[in-house]
Structure 1
């Protein structure tokens, strides 16, 4: 059996495909991945022996460039993504049995068009429940499309979200569809989601609430044990003293990285803890030459998070899931998107603290750290870690390969 996986996303959206690819190959499937041409993605997939087809522009360059992306440029970027993912997935689809797509709507729409043209099974996957329409939560605001502050009915907000998606992406998607002989669609959001999307999130950390109009298949998060060793210098730092606090914001560029690093390091030091600073896309760095701090680049988060006192991070689905699975107390400093949701879940589960707002200050971050570093929070984090499902990727792989799997077809 042959499966093509695709994602146009940051690391948190590409990493789950690693887990799924590993489990698919264990079941005898041939797997290829279409993903952004960022070196770290290609290197990660090469490490498990899976071919990556670079598709679309570099996500890192897009979000960290000198000129940040604007809402006005969305239609042009959408047209590029639709065409890029359609063309590259089409080139990989000969003999393919199923296409799996996640990430931005235009990229996924290009994949769905391939499924329609070739009559191949198609599955849309979200890594967080709040991306999917439900009466239990409002939609995530789209760029340049804030939610109406005076509307509290979630269904009304989701109806507006569908109209917004059509206005923002509809022309680019439908122009491409017509060019390849497919009819236009009047609801691009629901078109790419289908009426039976998959949800690759942990049911303890990020459950799907019923009832809802969608028949959502929640598989569990797509995790796989990461056997990569930690860099020698990092291991030596960990061995040299008490467990440090990790600070990193993953694929999120920070508005003032020097100030964020200074505030974070000073707040952690005020708790009597050592610090590991993740360089990340925010390009955080050390603020002095003291030996209680260590800066790290790419590293195995599973191995690292299991050895730290707490994890300070932005609240992306991938980082939150890994920290939860590792049993590490957390401080979530949400920057946008699905991150406020994960911040609230961390707080509600008692496994950490949700920082109030996206900009850490010494006082606010210190208060959150005091909560995260209590024995009670550590005990809760350990207990919740024991409840996290570890078979989500295996469940998804079996569903994909099962002949009678009820997956939406193009």
Structure 2
């Protein structure tokens, strides 16, 4: 705790998958260690994880419909964003606002996830609580000085990457279009008497007090059009207390007969996995590689051979920091936290992005020279096999991964972010 700060109550507001929750658990645990009281406002699906971590929980709707149909719409590569804002978050803004206003009644500060916790800017403006926002991936700044990989047309993405002026015009058009998705948010803002006209997905997501850029400078550094209040902290990694590695998994990891490939779609994309794990298993087996399948969420029910062939192991969950160092390479979907943990492990990567920020994260890893990107979310055995062969033969990629692993392990995003929060608590 910084000198001169008494114990304060800090409320975090976050929505989405485990990748959206875990960074705030990491900050919450550090702030609790520093003597503060911490509450996390999120959907009911996260309540057991938050309570197990030893933090307070407050329900903030909406709650996801944990079905294949919901997740297929949520993770659709072209219409996923529209579904999230027009059909999921936007219509629930009144209940989200009521829940978060209740959760912050005795709070000294609100810290919210940009883009997803849409009620946080409204609560902060209405009740006057000090507010810090947090960005978990560089794409969320929508900088006109970077190539916009999220656009549906590669040619337009390329042109915008060469011309900030054209990119600015495209963003202006996108803002007009997406404002229609968020009409309930804009209507509530007007009813609350909040007079500024900032777009909730763009400038309105950022706190004028402090914006935490919680990703590695390797993946993206400050751009001229970032908000002036940005503090880049590095990635805030949550290291869960999951206990020792299970004995059978430990034994499998320590085998050295053949190179090991780890396949995972992490929490969000695993709910829309399709045949990814079956194709991955077959691709690895065809090259004589061992395969660890980390199959969380709805993917845990994916049909695979029983028993698995020799050299293969499946598990519903594994702490990536425990298993990634044993791999020759890591195949994943490009979530922000998974990408950084793979970087820290010093291993080359194959990224199969599904939706939202994942393609942008993947392309940044590719530019660093440590990853191959397969742009089809259903790549199939043949494409996976080809990518595995390419990485195995690429000594330069392996050397770059080792070097960046050493560099990223020096970052401490949790400490930097909590220091920034405490600096503003001094005046709260």
- For residue 163 of structure 2, what is the aligned residue in structure 1? none
Conserved 8 A contact 1:264-1:360: no
Q: Shift of the alpha carbon at 1:66?
A: 8.3
Q: Structure 2: which 5+ residue stretches go unaligned? A: 1-7, 161-165
Q: Shift of the alpha carbon at 1:226?
A: 4.0
- For residue 126 of structure 1, what is the aligned residue in structure 2? 135
- For residue 232 of structure 1, what is the aligned residue in structure 2? 247
- Cα separation, 1, equivalents of 2:41 and 2:49: 13
TM-score by length of 2: 0.83
SS in 1 for 2:38: strand
Q: Compared with structure 1, are the counterparts of its residues 67 and 260 closer, same or farther at alpha carbon in structure 2 (3 Å cutoff)? A: closer
- For residue 4 of structure 2, what is the aligned residue in structure 1? none
More moved, 305-314 vs 361-370: 361-370
Q: Compared with structure 1, are the counterparts of its residues 49 and 72 closer, same or farther at alpha carbon in structure 2 (3 Å cutoff)? A: closer
Which of these residues, 8, 18, 38, is aligned with residue 11 of structure 1?
A: 18
- For residue 252 of structure 1, what is the aligned residue in structure 2? 269
- For residue 200 of structure 1, what is the aligned residue in structure 2? 214
SS in 1 for 2:12: strand
Alignment of 1:85 onto 2:96? yes
Alignment of 1:386 onto 2:403? no
Q: Shift of the alpha carbon at 1:387?
A: 0.9
Which of these residues, 398, 402, 417, is aligned with residue 396 of structure 1?
A: 417
Which of these residues, 337, 348, 351, is aligned with residue 332 of structure 1?
A: 351
- For residue 357 of structure 1, what is the aligned residue in structure 2? 376
Q: Shift of the alpha carbon at 1:181?
A: 4.5
Which of these residues, 52, 56, 60, is aligned with residue 57 of structure 2?
A: 52
SS in 2 for 1:61: coil
TM-score by length of 1: 0.86
Q: Compared with structure 1, are the counterparts of its residues 146 and 303 closer, same or farther at alpha carbon in structure 2 (3 Å cutoff)? A: same
User: What's the Cα RMSD here?
Assistant: 3.0
- Cα separation, 1, equivalents of 2:362 and 2:289: 23
Q: Shift of the alpha carbon at 1:184?
A: 6.7
Within a 5 Å distance, the mapping from 1:261-340 to structure 2 comes to 261-281=277-297, 283=299, 284-289=302-307, 290-340=309-359
- Structure 1 stretches (4+) deviating beyond 6 angstroms? 145-148
SS in 2 for 1:5: strand
Q: Structure 1: which 5+ residue stretches go unaligned? A: none
Q: Shift of the alpha carbon at 1:324?
A: 1.0
Q: Shift of the alpha carbon at 1:193?
A: 2.2
- Cα separation, 2, equivalents of 1:256 and 1:14: 21
Q: Compared with structure 1, are the counterparts of its residues 81 and 218 closer, same or farther at alpha carbon in structure 2 (3 Å cutoff)? A: farther
More moved, 367-376 vs 319-328: 367-376
Conserved 8 A contact 2:41-2:100: yes
Q: Shift of the alpha carbon at 1:5?
A: 0.6
Conserved 8 A contact 1:245-1:276: yes
Within a 5 Å distance, the mapping from 1:40-189 to structure 2 comes to 41-59=46-64, 61=66, 64-65=69-70, 68=73, 71=82, 74-75=85-86, 77-105=88-116, 107-108=117-118, 110-139=119-148, 141=150, 149=156, 152=160, 153-169=166-182, 171-183=183-195, 185=197, 187-188=199-200, 189=202
SS in 2 for 1:197: strand
- Cα separation, 1, equivalents of 2:404 and 2:72: 41
Conserved 8 A contact 2:325-2:347: yes
Q: Compared with structure 1, are the counterparts of its residues 288 and 360 closer, same or farther at alpha carbon in structure 2 (3 Å cutoff)? A: farther
